[in-house]
Amino acid sequence: MATPVFAINDDLSWKIQHRPLFFQGNDGNPVQWPDKVAVVREDTGRCLGVVSKGFETVQNSDLLTLIQPLVAEGLLTVENTGYLSHGARVFAQAKVNQEYAVLGEEYQGYVTLLNGHVGNCAVAIGSSMFRVICGNTFTAAYSDISEKYRHSAGVTQRVLESQFVLDYVNGAMAKYAEYMQPLALTSCSSTQFRAALEEIYQRPVKDMRESFVAKLNDLFYNGAGNNGNSLYDVFNAVTDYNSHESRKTESGRFNYTNFGHGARIAQRAVAVLTEMAAV
């Protein structure tokens, strides 16, 4: 099976094996090299490189274990996985879900997991602003991260004991709660709702599309968890519209919400509503 040199959106479900290395002796017969082993992709049989016998592999599945429980809980969304050099280096990146991420720049980066299977890099666990799309961005992300684990004996257990991802998400949620609690405790009338929309979208309600205002109004009163009586309901209406109504396609809504005008609107909503709650 041919293995691409580089792949994005690979699920990293394959495993690494260490296999014996042989060379041709003087008599023409194979002789095993006792100090080195070949690093082989189990699914394709491709040799990715050579490492010493003391090199401990961290399987892709073990690396992904750091984020999978939080993905299952809906706290993280995996955005970028893949490999370089036929699988010699692998990466996985996830972001704190939108409702948490908009609340502070420190949570705008990716939870990034990097690993080298042939001694070309340590296991790296941290946050990076770089989306890995090539060797250069892999290197840049790797340089961003300070928590690294060498492939010595016991590395897999040390990696599995890392608290970075959990601490990162808990910090984001604490920041979210810090901003949202005052909004949840501040009542909001229909008049205040309209005033908030004008500040958030920076134009009079009368100049907005009628269907757009009607949808936001419906989300304010009837959106998930909303009953139309607090500034928190306003925030939920705005972010719910961004995530589910703003564009026709899922990819369009995703880009709008996380990277486009929708991200700026959500950030403005936090600022506007926080100011209203302080009055």
Chunked into runs of 10 residues, the chain (279 residues) has average pLDDT values of 79 96 94 95 96 95 96 90 96 80 56 94 92 92 94 96 91 80 92 95 94 94 90 91 80 64 82 91
pLDDT of residue 54: 92
pLDDT of residue 265: 87
Report whether 39 contacts 117 (CB < 8 A). Answer: yes
- Residues sharing a CB contact under 8 Å with residue 93, sequence separation 6 or more, in sequence order: 78, 79, 80, 81, 110, 111, 112, 113, 128, 131, 132
pLDDT of residue 105: 46
Indicate if the alpha-carbon torsion angle 143, 138, 148, 80 is positive or negative: positive
pLDDT of residue 9: 86
In the chain, the percentage of residues whose pLDDT exceeds 90 is 65
pLDDT of residue 65: 96
Which residue, 52, 44, 55, 50, is CA-closest to 15?
44
pLDDT of residue 99: 59
- Kindly tell me the burial class for residue 139, based on how many C-beta atoms sit within 10 Å of its own C-beta (0-12, 13-18, 19 or more): middle
- Kindly tell me the burial class for residue 273, based on how many C-beta atoms sit within 10 Å of its own C-beta (0-12, 13-18, 19 or more): buried
